[in-house]
Chains A and B, each alone.
Chain A
Amino acid sequence: MNVTGSLLEVRDLRLEFNTRRGKALVLGGVDFELRAGETLCVVGESGCGKSMTALALLRLIPTPPGRISGGRILFHGEDLLGASTQRMRDVRGNRISMIFQEPMTSLNPVLTVGDQIGESLRLHAGLDARAAHARAVEMLQQVGIPAPERRVAEYPHQFSGGMRQRVMIAMALACRPDILIADEPTTALDVTVQAQIFDLLRDLQREKGTAILLITHDMGAVAEMADRVIVMYAGRVVEQGTTDQVLERPGHPYTKGLIDCLPELGSSALAGEGGRTELAEIPGVVPSIWELGNGCAFRERCSRAMTRCAEAVPPMFRLEGSGHAAACWLHVEQGEV
Chain B
Amino acid sequence: MVDLKVHFQRARSGWLSSPQVVRAVDGVSFDIRRGTTLAVVGESGSGKTTTALAVMRLVPFTGGRIRLGETDVGTLQGEALRRVRSRLQIIFQDPYSSLNPRERAGAVVRSPLDRMNIGTPAQRVERVAELFTAVGLRPEQQALYAHQFSGGQRQRINIARALATNPELVVCDEPVSALDIAIRAQILNLLARLQRELGLTYLFISHDMAVVEHICDEIAVMYLGEIVERAPRRAFFAAPLHPYSVALMSAVPTVHGGRARAARRIRLSGDPPNPIDLLPGCRFAGRCPAAEMACTSAPVPLREVAPGHWVRCRRVEVIDGAARAPLQAVVA
A pairs with B: yes
* Contacts from A to B (Cβ < 8 Å): 45-46, 160-163, 190-196, 198-199, 202, 217-224, 243, 247-248, 257-259, 261-269, 273-274, 276, 278-283, 285-286
Contact, CB under 8 Å: A269 / B238: yes
Q: Interface-forming stretch among B55-63, B127-135, B181-189? A: B181-189
A192 to B249, CA, bound (A): 9
Contact, CB under 8 Å: A261 / B256: no
Contact, CB under 8 Å: B43 / A190: yes
CB contacts (< 8 Å) of A220 on chain B: these are: 252-255, 257
Contact, CB under 8 Å: A160 / B271: yes
Question: B247 an interface residue at 8 Å Cβ cutoff?
Answer: yes
Contact, CB under 8 Å: A223 / B238: no
Shortest Cβ gap from B213 to chain A (Å): 5
Contact, CB under 8 Å: B192 / A223: no
A194 to B271, CA, bound (A): 11
Question: B262 an interface residue at 8 Å Cβ cutoff?
Answer: yes
Interface size on B, residues (CB 8 A): 50
In the complex with contacts A269-B237, A276-B192, A276-B214, A261-B268 CB distance below 8 A: no
Shortest Cβ gap from B90 to chain A (Å): 22
Contact, CB under 8 Å: A269 / B185: no
Q: Of all chain B residues, which has the CB nearest A163?
A: B271
A286 to B248, CA, bound (A): 32
A282 to B152, CA, bound (A): 12
A243 to B189, CA, bound (A): 28
State which of B188, B208, B238, B253 has its C-beta within 8 Å of the C-beta of A221.
B253
Contact, CB under 8 Å: A195 / B251: yes
Contact, CB under 8 Å: A45 / B180: yes
Contact, CB under 8 Å: B249 / A265: yes
CB contacts (< 8 Å) of A194 on chain B: these are: 251, 253
In the complex with contacts A192-B268, A267-B214, A262-B152 CB distance below 8 A: no
Contact, CB under 8 Å: B213 / A265: yes
19 contacting pairs across A/B (C-beta < 8 A):
A161-B44, A191-B43, A191-B209, A192-B248, A192-B268, A195-B268, A263-B185, A263-B210, A263-B214, A264-B254, A265-B249, A266-B237, A266-B331, A267-B210, A269-B234, A273-B232, A276-B192, A279-B188, A285-B150
Contacting residues of chain B (175-213) with chain A, CB-CB under 8 angstroms: 180-186, 188-189, 192, 207-211, 213
CB contacts (< 8 Å) of A261 on chain B: these are: 181-182, 184-185
CB contacts (< 8 Å) of B82 on chain A: these are: none
A155 to B149, CA, bound (A): 40
Contact, CB under 8 Å: B183 / A258: no
CB contacts (< 8 Å) of B257 on chain A: these are: 220, 223-224
A196 to B232, CA, bound (A): 29
A98 to B186, CA, bound (A): 33
Q: Of all chain B residues, which has the CB nearest A220?
A: B253
Question: B31 an interface residue at 8 Å Cβ cutoff?
Answer: no
A161 to B262, CA, bound (A): 21
Q: Of all chain A residues, which has the CB nearest B244?
A: A192
A299 to B327, CA, bound (A): 48
Question: B312 an interface residue at 8 Å Cβ cutoff?
Answer: no
State which of B184, B213, B265 has its C-beta within 8 Å of the C-beta of A267.
B213
Question: B261 an interface residue at 8 Å Cβ cutoff?
Answer: yes
Contact, CB under 8 Å: B271 / A224: no
Contacting residues of chain B (126-182) with chain A, CB-CB under 8 angstroms: 150, 152-153, 180-182
Contact, CB under 8 Å: A268 / B271: no
State which of B247, B251, B255, B331 has its C-beta within 8 Å of the C-beta of A264.
B255
A218 to B258, CA, bound (A): 12
Contact, CB under 8 Å: A265 / B188: no
State which of B233, B237, B259, B331 has its C-beta within 8 Å of the C-beta of A224.
B259
Shortest Cβ gap from A288 to chain B (Å): 9
A283 to B153, CA, bound (A): 12
Contact, CB under 8 Å: A265 / B185: no
Contact, CB under 8 Å: B255 / A46: no
Contact, CB under 8 Å: B232 / A190: no
Shortest Cβ gap from B174 to chain A (Å): 13
Contact, CB under 8 Å: B217 / A274: yes
A281 to B233, CA, bound (A): 23
CB contacts (< 8 Å) of B83 on chain A: these are: none
CB contacts (< 8 Å) of A274 on chain B: these are: 217
A109 to B287, CA, bound (A): 29
Question: B87 an interface residue at 8 Å Cβ cutoff?
Answer: no
CB contacts (< 8 Å) of A263 on chain B: these are: 184-185, 188, 208, 210-211, 213-215
State which of A46, A198, A221, A264 has its C-beta within 8 Å of the C-beta of B210.
A264
A259 to B258, CA, bound (A): 14
Contact, CB under 8 Å: B185 / A223: no
Q: Of all chain A residues, which has the CB nearest B258?
A: A223
Contact, CB under 8 Å: A217 / B181: yes
Q: Of all chain A residues, which has the CB nearest B36?
A: A274
CB contacts (< 8 Å) of B213 on chain A: these are: 263, 265-268
A279 to B192, CA, bound (A): 10
CB contacts (< 8 Å) of A247 on chain B: these are: 255-256, 258
Question: B115 an interface residue at 8 Å Cβ cutoff?
Answer: no
Q: Of all chain A residues, which has the CB nearest B217?
A: A274
In the complex with contacts A262-B210, A265-B209, A193-B271 CB distance below 8 A: yes
**Central interface residue in A202, A221, A285, by most chain B CB within 10 Å:** A285
Please name the 8 residue pairs, one residue from A and one from B, whose CB atoms are nearest each other, closest first: A220-B253, A263-B214, A261-B185, A190-B43, A279-B185, A195-B251, A282-B182, A45-B180
State which of B186, B209, B254 has its C-beta within 8 Å of the C-beta of A281.
B186
Shortest Cβ gap from A224 to chain B (Å): 4
State which of A191, A258, A273, A276 has its C-beta within 8 Å of the C-beta of B248.
A191
